[in-house]
């Protein structure tokens, strides 16, 4: 079973697929063999079991506890310390097939199932780490480590000052898809899969427009893929747009090397 947005004939501009389906579908851009239909069928099975749980459990706290038990104990989703490449652990297709993933992929899946269970959950960034936030009210809720399901209950005191609270950045809707693409971009670069990383940059630029930092990254990747002329154009764009960036001298050195290379060719 696949979401109807996968069928272009059923697509409309008013339809906005859940972030997890956008992440799954995006994997076809760098993996033509991705088993999208099989993965979506697996996800549909999980969704159906969660919907049954909603019927069984009215209390929201108990429903959350039972959902986490399903996720980590029965279905055995987990983070991993094994020698698995980050780009696989970030993959929703890999996660749904192998039940092992990164904090990002696990967080995206868990939040999707929380929403299916009518529980308010969001991917969030806390001190640079990907976590899952479940708000029970404006003042209280849970922080969940998506790699192991460990929960922390919090209450914000009535007289708490905003600067006293721990910084928390909620990642919602399209921002989830951007986070996924950004994580995959850096994972592919780390694995020297530069063509795959370039696919991520292209999709990010479709969302962000002519973002200078994505142009910088595209320039780096194009240079790795032996496209020096286009690489130089992207890097020069970054220098022009972000002259105060701390990496500017390094980028200018790369531009000079590319200029020398182009001169030698001519």
Complete DSSP assignment for 33-96: T--HHHHHHHHHHHHHHHHHHHHH--SHHHHHHHHHHIIIIIS--B---SS--HHHHT-HHHHH
In this prediction, residue 158 carries a pLDDT of 66
Does 202 reside within a domain? no
Query: Is 186 a member of any domain?
Result: no
| Number of domains composing the chain | 2
pLDDT of 14-70, one tens digit each?
A: 445 899 999 999 999 999 999 999 999 999 999 999 999 999 999 999 999 999 999
Give the pLDDT confidence of 132-155 residue by residue, as tens digits.
999 988 888 999 999 999 999 888
The answer to whether residue 142 sits within a structural domain is yes
Does residue 126 form part of some domain? yes
Q: Lowest mean pLDDT: which of 4-13, 112-121, 212-221?
A: 4-13
One domain, residues 101 and 222: no
Residues 54 and 153 in one domain: yes
Q: What's the Cα-to-Cα distance from 167 to each of 124, 137, 195, 254, rounded to whole Å?
A: 10, 18, 35, 36
Q: Is residue 138 part of a domain?
A: yes
Which distant-in-sequence residues (6+ apart) come within 8 Å of 219 by Cβ?
230, 231, 232, 233, 234, 235, 237, 238, 254
Contact 70, 110 (CB under 8 A): no
In a domain, 75, yes or no: yes
CB distance 1 to 41 below 8 Å:
yes
Decide if 176 is inside a domain: no
Q: Are residues 74 and 138 in the same domain?
A: yes
Residue 250 in this model has a pLDDT that exceeds 80: yes
Domain interval for residue 165: 4-171
The H helix count followed by the E strand count for the chain is 11, 5
């Amino acid at each position: 079973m696949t979401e109807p947005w996968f069928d272009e004939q059923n697509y409309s501009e008013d339809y906005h697929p859940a972030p997890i389906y956008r992440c799954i579908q995006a994997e076809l851009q760098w993996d033509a063999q991705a088993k999208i239909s099989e993965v979506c069928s697996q996800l549909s099975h999980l969704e159906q079991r969660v919907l049954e749980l909603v019927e069984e459990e009215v209390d929201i706290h108990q429903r959350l506890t039972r959902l986490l038990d399903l996720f980590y104990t029965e279905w055995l989703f987990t983070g991993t310390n094994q020698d698995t490449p980050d780009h696989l652990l970030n993959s929703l297709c890999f996660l749904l097939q192998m039940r092992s993933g990164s904090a990002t992929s696990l967080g995206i899946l868990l939040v999707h199932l929380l929403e299916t269970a009518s529980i308010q959950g969001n991917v969030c960034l806390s001190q640079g780490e990907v976590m899952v936030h479940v708000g029970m009210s404006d003042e209280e809720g849970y922080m969940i480590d998506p790699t192991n399901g460990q929960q922390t209950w919090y209450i914000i005191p009535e007289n708490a000052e905003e600067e006293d609270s721990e910084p928390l950045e909620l990642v919602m809707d399209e921002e989830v898809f951007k986070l996924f693409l950004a994580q995959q971009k850096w994972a592919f670069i780390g694995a020297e899969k530069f063509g795959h990383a370039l696919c991520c940059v292209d999709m990010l630029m479709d969302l962000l427009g002519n973002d200078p930092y994505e142009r910088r990254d595209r320039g780096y990747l194009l240079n790795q893929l032996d496209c020096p002329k286009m690489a130089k154009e992207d890097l020069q764009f970054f220098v022009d747009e972000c002259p105060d960036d701390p990496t500017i001298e390094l980028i200018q050195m790369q531009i000079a090397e590319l200029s020398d290379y182009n001169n030698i060719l001519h």
